[in-house]
Structure 1
Amino acid sequence: MTWLTHPPIVVPYDFSAESKEAVGRAIGLLGDPSGVHVVHVLGELSPAEPGEMWNTVDHATRTKHATDAITKELGAEVTIRVLFGDAGHQITEYADQVDAKLIIMPSHGRSGILRVLLGSVADRVVRLAHCPVLVLRPEKKS
């Protein structure tokens, strides 16, 4: 058994096909979904958003909706955690909290202006993480 196969493994999840594949790879490495911690990070709401102004949306309702959607896609065997704030910081802080042995995450392969505007969560996680990070790169289109 190598260090790659020790739980927990943290997998950031953004509902993309690539992040679903990363969850599958983590389960494949461990052979058991119970050691996989799926993390979904939501941004903070603006005080001007209607749900925030009328107190109809809060962290609890957003967490429930996200957890239900992830459970529907992945099943209840993995540990699901919904966090709020900057994705790179939240992912690495959570990995530290659970003493993760590995973070597996996709890179969406953005470049140029999209990378400047959207940033790269994978870059931030690689820089901030205290455990190994396996970044799954998209296949090159021929």
Structure 2
Amino acid sequence: MYDRILIPTDGSETAELAVERALAIAERFDSTVDTLFVVDTDALELSLGTEQVDRVRSGRFGEMDELEATAREATDHVVEAGRERDVDVSAHFRAGQPHKVIADVAEDHDVDLVVMGSHGRSGVRRVLLGSVTENVLRSTHRPVMVVDERGEDD
């Protein structure tokens, strides 16, 4: 049923809840898992400038050790959690608009299910901050399971 599952992660507590849910599904269906950390280049460009963003887009973090450490920590956690459950997990790093990258990776890897967290923002906070999860739902034709910050899926 689910041969390949994609778990986008930013390392947050909400993402970790989605990781646990996705790995339980992968374990049950003997699925292969891809985990993905996306560097939001729009946000990065505002704070660092075009030159740094171009480096990240080409896969070079340069002097941004903290960003690279965050990305590796988030995906390494998924790989290790998968290993503990005897689930094969491949880690990926990409740069771009998160919802577009997630949708593209889901398509490119022919995933059967995307499992991701949502912080459950509503009202003005959601309008101002946007919702990566909501945009993924609009950007992909792949099934998406959304796990909210209480660990419940929608």
What TM-score does the superposition give when structure 1 sets the normalisation length? Answer: 0.78
Distance 2:119 2:100 in 1: 18
Question: Residue in 1 aligned with 2:14?
Answer: 18
Alignment size in residue pairs: 134
- Do 2:40 and 2:96's aligned partners in 1 also have CA atoms closer than 8 Å? yes
Q: 1:65 to 1:94 in 2, by over 3 A?
A: same
Question: Residue in 2 aligned with 1:133?
Answer: 144
1:69-88 aligned within 5 A: 69-76=73-80, 77=83, 78-88=89-99
- Do 1:34 and 1:79's aligned partners in 2 also have CA atoms closer than 8 Å? no
Question: Residue in 2 aligned with 1:29?
Answer: 25
Question: Residue in 1 aligned with 2:64?
Answer: none
Which of 99, 108, 111 is the aligned partner of 1:97?
A: 108
Q: 1:61 to 1:127 in 2, by over 3 A?
A: same
- Do 1:66 and 1:82's aligned partners in 2 also have CA atoms closer than 8 Å? no
% identical aligned pairs: 30
Distance 1:47 1:111 in 2: 25
- Do 2:35 and 2:90's aligned partners in 1 also have CA atoms closer than 8 Å? yes
The one-letter code sitting in structure 2 at the alignment partner of 1:35 is T
The one-letter code sitting in structure 1 at the alignment partner of 2:48 is E
- Do 1:9 and 1:102's aligned partners in 2 also have CA atoms closer than 8 Å? yes
The alpha carbon displacement at 1:83 in A equals 1.2
Q: Which runs of 5+ in 2 are unaligned?
A: 62-66, 84-88
Question: Residue in 2 aligned with 1:49?
Answer: 48
- Do 1:23 and 1:36's aligned partners in 2 also have CA atoms closer than 8 Å? no
Q: 1:122 to 1:50 in 2, by over 3 A?
A: closer
Deviation digits for residues 58-114 of structure 1 (CA, Å, limit 9, x no counterpart): 323438534432354334552111111111111011000000000011111001221
- Do 1:9 and 1:36's aligned partners in 2 also have CA atoms closer than 8 Å? yes
- Do 2:9 and 2:75's aligned partners in 1 also have CA atoms closer than 8 Å? no
Distance 2:132 2:47 in 1: 26
The one-letter code sitting in structure 2 at the alignment partner of 1:27 is L
- Do 1:12 and 1:105's aligned partners in 2 also have CA atoms closer than 8 Å? yes
SS in 2 for 1:100: coil
